């Protein structure tokens, strides 16, 4: 975690502000969702898509603006210098369009194909779409932290920061510490930290010094190591497929059977 109490507070404040941006994006997306006609998906999607892309772009920009301010304050708190590189990745229209298309019109069609009525499919599909909308707009800030870390020679890397109630996948990524965008471990960790799922509450934090895991993170590390050693004892390599289900079995995460059964 950040070396100063102020840095840790800034990271948490930024995480909550980012989630507020995402919530506003979902509200606007919900209003636009009615433009998708489940009885005429293709033609209605042509009208819906430009407005939805504009929504993504608007809140992606808001996410970046908040992150830029946070990075300056955070850098000042951590190393006493607010001035440093800030890299803002551009809004990728094709990527955003594909995400909207798959989680929107394509999913509605898929649910209808599975036997849902058009109205039911339209209503159910928005649950997944709302998560994708959150993820796409929050990419603005998350990718800015990744790109800025790569450009900041004082940074040792960035780490995944949980919302305090992670799924097993997020807990695994949080357990790795500040390996993302770091030169020393780029081969093994490159890109993995940016794998945020829909409805994910994680954020990212640049580290300028030694990472000292907090109590929750020590728990994630212990759970990962226990599951990984169980996999190895069964003659398997440490991979996502061999470790994550054992972590769910051993402990309680948001997506674990124990948690769901509660």
* Averaged pLDDT, 184-200: 66
- Other beta carbons within 10 angstroms of residue 260's beta carbon come to 11
Summarised one tens digit per residue, pLDDT across range 216-249 is 999 999 999 999 999 999 999 999 999 999 999 9
Q: What is the mean pLDDT of the chain?
A: 92
| pLDDT exceeds 70 at position 193 | no
Summarised one tens digit per residue, pLDDT across range 169-178 is 999 999 999 9
Give Dmax (Cα) for the chain.
Answer: 60
3-state secondary structure of 206: strand
Same domain, 35 and 100: yes
pTM, to two decimals = 0.90
Same domain, 20 and 148: yes
Summarised one tens digit per residue, pLDDT across range 84-132 is 999 999 999 999 999 999 999 999 999 999 999 999 999 999 999 999 9
Residue-range definition of the domain harbouring residue 145: 1-153
Same domain, 37 and 103: yes
Point out the domain boundary residue: 105, 138, 153.
Answer: 153
Summarised one tens digit per residue, pLDDT across range 19-47 is 999 999 999 999 999 999 999 999 999 99
- Other beta carbons within 10 angstroms of residue 199's beta carbon come to 17
**DSSP E strands, the chain:** 157-161, 203-207
Same domain, 163 and 196: yes
| Domains of the chain: total | 2
Following CA atoms 63, 67, 70, 71 in sequence, which dihedral angle do they give, to the nearest 10 degrees? 180
| pLDDT exceeds 90 at position 75 | yes
Question: What pLDDT band is residue 257 in, cutting at 50, 70 and 90?
Answer: low
Same domain, 146 and 177: no
């Amino acid at each position: 975690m950040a070396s100063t109490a102020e840095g840790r507070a800034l990271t948490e404040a930024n995480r909550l502000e980012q989630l507020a941006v995402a919530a506003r994006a979902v509200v606007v997306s919900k209003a636009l969702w009615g433009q998708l006609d489940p009885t005429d998906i293709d033609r209605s999607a042509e009208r819906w898509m430009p407005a939805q892309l504009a929504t993504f772009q608007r809140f992606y920009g808001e996410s970046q603006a908040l992150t830029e301010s946070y990075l300056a304050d955070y850098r000042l708190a951590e190393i006493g210098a607010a001035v440093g590189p800030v890299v803002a990745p551009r809004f990728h229209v094709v990527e955003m369009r594909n995400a909207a298309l798959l989680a929107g019109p394509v999913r509605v069609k898929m649910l209808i194909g599975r036997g849902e009525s058009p109205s039911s499919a339209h209503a159910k599909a928005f649950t997944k779409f709302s998560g994708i909308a959150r993820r796409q707009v929050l990419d603005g800030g998350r990718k800015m932290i990744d790109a800025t870390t790569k450009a900041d020679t004082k940074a040792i890397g960035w780490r995944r920061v949980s919302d305090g109630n992670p799924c097993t996948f997020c807990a695994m990524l949080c357990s790795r510490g500040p390996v993302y965008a770091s030169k020393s471990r780029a081969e093994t960790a490159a890109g993995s930290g940016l794998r945020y799922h829909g409805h994910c509450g994680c954020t990212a934090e640049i580290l300028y010094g030694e990472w000292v895991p907090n109590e929750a993170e020590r728990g994630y590390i212990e759970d990962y190591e226990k599951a990984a050693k169980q996999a190895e004892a069964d003659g398997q390599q440490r991979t996502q497929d061999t470790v994550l289900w054992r972590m769910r079995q051993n402990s309680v995460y948001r997506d674990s059977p124990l948690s769901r059964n509660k």
